[in-house]
Chain A
Amino acid sequence: MDLVSGYKGVVGLVFGNENSGSNEDSYVERLLDRISNGKLAEDRRSAMIELQAIVAESHGAQLAFGAMGFPVMLAVLKEERDDVEMVRGALEALVGALTPIEHAKGPKNEVQPALMNTDLLSREADSISLLLSLLSEEDFYVRYYTLQLLTALLTNSPNRLQEAILTIPRGITRLMDMLMDREVIRNEALLLLTYLTREAEEIQKILVFEGAFEKIFSIIKEEGGSEGGVVVQDCLQLLNNLLRTNASNQILLRETMGFDPVISILKLRGSTYSFTQQKTINLLSALETINLLMMGGTEADPGKDANKLTNKATLVQKKVLDHLLLLGVESQWAPVAVRCAALQCIGDLIAGQPKNLDILATKVLGEEPQTEPALNSILRILLRTSSMQEFIAADYVFKSFCEKNSDGQTMLASTLIPQPHLMTHAPLEEDVNMSFGSMLLHGLTLSENDGDLETCCRAASVLSHVLKDNVQCKERVIRIELEPPMPSLGASEPLMHRMVKYMALASSMKNKDGKSSTSGNLYVQPIILKLLVTWLADCPNAVHCFLDSRPHLTYLLELVSNSSATVCTRGLAAVLLGECVIYNKSNDNGKDAFTVVDTISQKLGLTSYFLKFDEMQKSFLFTSVKSAQPRKVLTRSTAASMADIEDVDENDSSDQKDEDHPILSAIFDVQFVNLVKKLEGDIRESIVEVYSHPKSKVSVVPAELEQRSGESDGEYIKRLKTFVEKQCSEIQDLLSRNSLLAEDLAKTGGGSNSQPEQRVSGGLDRVQVEKLRRDLQEASQRLEMLKTDKAKIESEASMYRNLAGKMESDLKSLSDAYNSLEQANLYLEKEVRALKGGGPSTIADVEAIKAAAREEAQKDSEAELNDLLVCLGQEQTRVEKLSARLLQLGEDVDTLLEGIGDDVGLPEEGEEEED
C-alpha cells in the first residue's frame, strides 16, 4: 500500500484543483483504456493501481469511474480470473468507488458519487452473481475484497441487493459458508450478513435453514461470551436480525437449540464488577435478544400471541428471571443501561403471565439469613436510585406486576400498615427488614423531613399501580391513617389527605427553592394527580374521603386555573374534579355532586373547565403515546451511545421542556391515557346530567299542598307561603346559574372567533343552557299548574264540606222524627197498660183495640223505617261516590270523614240496634 501514498502526491501534483472535472475524466478514461486495451501485463497492472488510488480520493474520479469503469472492471473479473493481481486490483478499485470520501467538502445537495456508483453497479445484470462466484476463489484477498464490496453495496442500496441475492441459487449459502472461513473473512461476513438480514424475512429464514444459529452461538462461545470483543457484538446483532418479528425463526430456535445459549450469554462470570464498554454493549444486545423473543412475530401473524406466550414460558423455565434479577437488581457494578434493560425485560416477562407473576412474587434474593423478596429489592432501587431511567424501568416492573393481577395487588396492599412514629422517621438505609408496604409508606412520607418530594412521588407512582382497578385495595388504603409529622401537631390524617398536602407543597417549593425542585415539580404533581385519579376512579368512598376536607376542593379549583401549572397538571386536576362529580354518591349538602358542579361553574366556568381537557388531549404526551414503542435497534453506531446513558439525565432534565419529560412519558402510559379519555366523556355527560335534573330543594307532593286536618287556615296559608318562598329562591338560584351559564356562553361566543377549537365545548354549554332554560320554564309551568290545581281542589273540598253539612242536618231531622215516633209509641203503650188495668170486661174489646192500634202503629213505624232506610241507602252511595272522587283528587278521605263520620255513623248504628 505504499504505492497509494506515493500516488496521492502524484495525483495532487497533476490536478491541484479537485474540481477540474474534465481533467479527471480524461485521466480516468486513459487509465481504463490502458486496462482494457493494453498488451503489456505490467502496464495494465500499474494502470489499475493508479486507478485505485485516484478513485479512493477524488470525487470527480469516482464520478468518472462510475460513468465508464464498470464494464471494464466486470470484464476483468469475468475473463481474467487467473490473473489474481488484476482481479484484486479491480475489486479494490470498485470498493474505492463505492466508499464515500470522508472529508469531501462539497455542497450538501451535490450528487454522492458513492451512492450513484452503488446504484449503477447493483443494476448491472449478473454483477451480483459474478461477485458471489468470486467468493469461492482461492485467493484470500479476492474473497476479502468481494465481501467488502458486497457490504458496501448493501449499505448503500440494501433492498436491491437483498432481492438480487435471493434470486441467485445458493447465493446465501455461499455467504453463509464464509462464516466458516478464516477469522478475518468470518468477521467481514458477519457484518455483511447483518446488513443482508435487515428487514428481509425470507433471507433470515434461509440463513437459519443454513444453520446460522449454531454458527453464531459457536462463534460467541469461542470469543468468550459477553466478555468477548466486537465480534460478539456483531454476532448478537445478526442473531437479533434473525429473530426480530420472525416467528418462524423464533420457533426454530426454541425447538432445536433452545434458549439456553442466549441465556448463558447473560450469565456473569469472573470479575462481576468490571464492566467494559464492550461488555456492556454485549449484555445490552443479549438483553435485546430476550426482548425480541418476548415480542414474538409480526402483528399480522395469527399465532403471534401463542408464540409470545410460549417464548415467555420457555424463558422462565430456563431461569432467565434469575439472570435478569442478577443483572438488574443484585449487581451494583453493572452499568445503569444494563440494569435498566434487565428490569425492562423482567417487566415484559411477567406482563400478563400469571405463572411468571407468581414466580416473581415469591422470588427471594440474597443468601440466608440476609434474604429479601425480590419485589422489595426492586422497590428499594426505585426509591433510592439516582438515575431517572432506572426509576422508570423499576416502575415498569411494578406496573407490569399489578396489571390485571388483583391477587398481586392485594398481596402488596396487605402489607401497607403504618409504622409507629419512630419507624417512619428512620433513615432509608434501615429498610432492609421492612415489609413492602412499610417501605412504600415510608417512601411516601419520607420527604417530610428533607423537603424533597422526589421519593414521595416515586412511591406514589407505585401506589397508583397497586390501586389501579382494584376496589378492595382502594378501600383499604383509604382507611390508612398517618400520624402527624410532629406528634404535637394535631391528630392523625388519612394517607390520601397527606398526598394532597404534598401535591400542594410541590408547587410552593418551586418558588422557594429553585434548583432542586424545578425539575422535580414537573412530574411530582402529575404523578400524585395520577395516583389520585386512579384512586378515585369508580370508588365513591375515595371521593368521599377526598371531599372530607373542604380545602381540597378549593385547592383543586385553584390548580385547574393556575396558569403557572403545566397543561397536564391542569388537565389532570380537572379530571380529578370531574371524578368528584361522577363517582360522587354523597347526599351531604356541600359535598354532593351538585355542589361540586356548581362550584366548578361558579369558580371556573364550564367552558374553561372543559377547555383544560382539550388542552391536555392535544398536548404532546397524549398525542405521542403509542401502544408499544419499538425499541431502537442497536447497531454498531448507536450501541456505544446506548451504553453510555449513565446519569446524564440528571443534568439534562432541567433543560427539557416540561411537555416531553421522560418520566412523564413513562407515567402517561396507554392505559392511563385511555382511562383519562374515558373519564372525560363520562364527566361531560355527567355534568350535563346534573344540570338537566337539578335536585329540588322543595319536594312537590300534592298532598302537602292540602290543608291538613286540624290546620287552621292561617297556618295553612303560612305553610303554603314558605313553600312558595322556597320555590322562589330555587327559581332565583336557577336564574343565577342560568345567567352564569349565559355569561360563560357569551364569553365562549366572543372567544370563538379567535379560537375556533373552543366551539365544541362552547356549543356543548349552549346546549346545556338551552336545556336548563327549558327546564326552568317547565318547572314554573308546573308550579302554575299546581297552583290552579290546588285552587280547584280547595273549592271542591268546600263544596263537599257543605254537602256533608246538609247531610248532617237531614240525618238530624230523621232522627228527630224517629224520636217522636218512639215517644208516640211509648205513649200508646202506656195508654194500653192503663186500659188493661181499667177492667177485664172490656178486655176483649181492649184487646181488639190494642191489636188494631198496635197494627196501626207498627204499620206507621214500618213505613217510616222504610223511608229512613231508603234515605240512608241513598246517603251511603252518595258518600261512597264522594270519597272515591276525593280519593281521585288525592284527598285523604278518612281524615275528611273523621269529623263527619261521627255524626253520620251514630244514628246508623242506632238504627241497626233498633232492628
Chain B
Amino acid sequence: MSYDYLFKYIIIGDTGVGKSCLLLQFTDKRFQPVHDLTIGVEFGARMVTIDSRPIKLQIWDTAGQESFRSITRSYYRGAAGALLVYDITRRETFNHLASWLEDARQHANPNMSIMLIGNKSDLAHRRAVSKEEGEQFAKENGLLFLEASARTAQNVEEAFIKTAAKILQNIQEGVFDVSNESSGIKVGYGRPQGPSGARDGAVAQRGNCCG
C-alpha cells in the first residue's frame, strides 16, 4: 500500500472513444468489447513504478455524454493528469478535442499534464485521423501524444506511465506545490526516496520513459 506519490488522473473525451476500456485494460488487463455507457464517473486504481519509485494512480473515468459535463467538470480541478481520448476511426471525435481542451484549461489546474490518446489503433483500416494530425495537434497544444489500442493493449501502459513520468518530472522541477490539495498529488506515507524494487508486483518496471 505504501507509495511515494499518489497521482489523480481523469480520462476525458467524446462518448464511445473507449475511455472506460482503456481504464479496464490498464487496471484489469482485459478488454470488454461491449461496455455500458458510463454514468457520471467511475473509479479505478493501480500501482506503477517509475524510476524505481512506487506511485499510486487513482483514475477517474468520466462519462463522455454532454449531459454529464457539469458533473465531470467537478473532477478537473483536483487532477494531476488527464488522458484526452479520441477515436482514430471517427473524425468528429478528433474535431471536438479543442472544446475538451478549452474545458480543461478553464476548470483544471494549469499544471495538469495532458496526454492525447488516439485510441483504436488496431482498426487502422478504418482510420479517419492520421497519426501526423494527432501529433500536430498535441505539439500545438503542449500535450503528450500516443496512439493506443484498448483492445490489443498496445501503448496503454505507456500512456498512463508516460503521463505519470511527466508529472514526476514536474514535481522534481518544482512546478507543483505538492502540499496543495488541488494539485492532484499526494506525498505518500512511505519512505521519501531510495532504491526499491517493484512494490506491488503488479507492474513491470517500464521505468525510464521520462529520462
Contact = CB atoms under 8 A, between A and B. Distances in A.
Chains A and B form a bound pair: yes
Interface of A: 166-167, 169-173, 177, 180, 201-202, 205-206, 208-211, 248-249, 251-252, 255-256, 258
B71 A256 contact: no
B43 A205 contact: yes
A256 B57 CA distance: 9
10 contacts: A166-B71, A202-B71, A206-B74, A206-B75, A251-B43, A251-B45, A255-B58, A256-B6, A256-B56, A258-B1
Contacts of A173: 74, 77-78, 182
B30 interface: no
Nearest to B63: A202
A249 B42 CA distance: 9
Interface string B51-76: 00000101010000000001101110
Contacts of B1: 258
B8 interface: yes
B77 A206 contact: no
A252 B58 contact: yes
A201 to B, nearest CB: 7
A166 B56 CA distance: 28
B41 A169 contact: no
Interface of B: 1, 6, 8, 40-43, 45, 56, 58, 60, 70-71, 73-75, 77-78, 107, 181-182, 186
Nearest to A251: B43
A209 B45 contact: no
Which 8 residue pairs across A and B have the least CB separation, nearest first?
Answer: A255-B45, A167-B70, A248-B43, A206-B74, A202-B40, A202-B71, A252-B43, A205-B41
A173 B8 CA distance: 15
Nearest to B42: A248
Nearest to A257: B1
B40 A169 contact: no
Contact of A201 (B8, B40, B182, B186): B40
A173 B73 CA distance: 11
Nearest to B73: A169
Nearest to B58: A256
Nearest to B70: A167
Given A170-B107, A252-B45, A256-B45, 15 more contacts: A169-B107, A173-B182, A180-B181, A202-B40, A202-B71, A205-B40, A206-B41, A209-B78, A211-B181, A251-B43, A252-B43, A255-B58, A256-B6, A256-B58, A258-B1
Nearest to A205: B41
Contacts of B186: 211
B84 to A, nearest CB: 18
Nearest to A180: B181
SS class, residues of chain A in contact with chain B: helix
A220 B103 CA distance: 36
A172 B77 CA distance: 11
A210 B78 contact: yes
A172 B74 contact: yes
Nearest to A258: B1
Contacts of B74: 166, 169-173, 206, 209
A913 to B, nearest CB: 96
Contact of B71 (A206, A248, A249): A206
A170 B58 contact: no
Contacts, number: 58
A307 to B, nearest CB: 12
Contacts of A172: 74
Contacts of B8: 209
Contacts of B58: 252, 255-256
Contacts of A249: 43
Q: Which of A166, A169, A249 has the most chain B CB atoms inside 10 A of its CB?
A: A169
Contacts of A248: 41-43
A253 to B, nearest CB: 10
B40 A209 contact: no
A205 B43 CA distance: 9
Contacts of B43: 205, 208, 248-249, 251-252
A259 to B, nearest CB: 11
Nearest to A171: B74
A209 B42 CA distance: 11
Q: Which of B58, B74, B75 has the most chain A CB atoms inside 10 A of its CB?
A: B74
A209 B70 contact: no
A172 B40 CA distance: 15
Q: Which of A171, A256, A258 has the most chain B CB atoms inside 10 A of its CB?
A: A256
B3 to A, nearest CB: 9
Contacts of B56: 256
Contacts of A256: 6, 45, 56, 58
Nearest to A252: B43
B189 to A, nearest CB: 10
A248 B42 CA distance: 6
Contacts of B181: 177, 180, 210-211
B187 to A, nearest CB: 12
A208 B45 CA distance: 14
A249 B45 CA distance: 12
Contacts of B75: 206, 209
Q: Which of B6, B8, B73 has the most chain A CB atoms inside 10 A of its CB?
A: B73
A250 B186 CA distance: 20
A202 B41 contact: yes
B25 to A, nearest CB: 17
A210 B184 CA distance: 9
A258 B189 CA distance: 14
A326 to B, nearest CB: 25
Contacts of B40: 201-202, 205
A172 B78 CA distance: 12
Nearest to A210: B78
A613 B60 CA distance: 55
Contacts of A201: 40
Nearest to B60: A209
A470 to B, nearest CB: 39
A519 B181 CA distance: 60
Nearest to B41: A205
Nearest to A214: B186
A804 B57 CA distance: 107
Nearest to B181: A211
A205 B78 CA distance: 13
A177 B71 CA distance: 18
Given A248-B42, A256-B45, A166 B70 contact: yes
Contacts of B60: 209
A172 B58 CA distance: 19
B10 to A, nearest CB: 9
Contacts of B77: 170, 173
B41 to A, nearest CB: 5
Q: Which of A167, A205, A208, A249 has the most chain B CB atoms inside 10 A of its CB?
A: A205
Contacts of B78: 173, 209-211
Contacts of B45: 251-252, 255-256
Contacts of A206: 41, 71, 74-75
A567 to B, nearest CB: 46
A169 B107 CA distance: 8
Nearest to B46: A255
Contacts of A170: 74, 77, 107
Contacts of A167: 70
A261 to B, nearest CB: 12
A236 to B, nearest CB: 22
A167 B77 CA distance: 15
A201 B6 CA distance: 24
B56 to A, nearest CB: 7
Contacts of A211: 78, 181, 186
A169 B60 CA distance: 17
A177 B1 CA distance: 26
A249 B182 CA distance: 19
B131 to A, nearest CB: 33
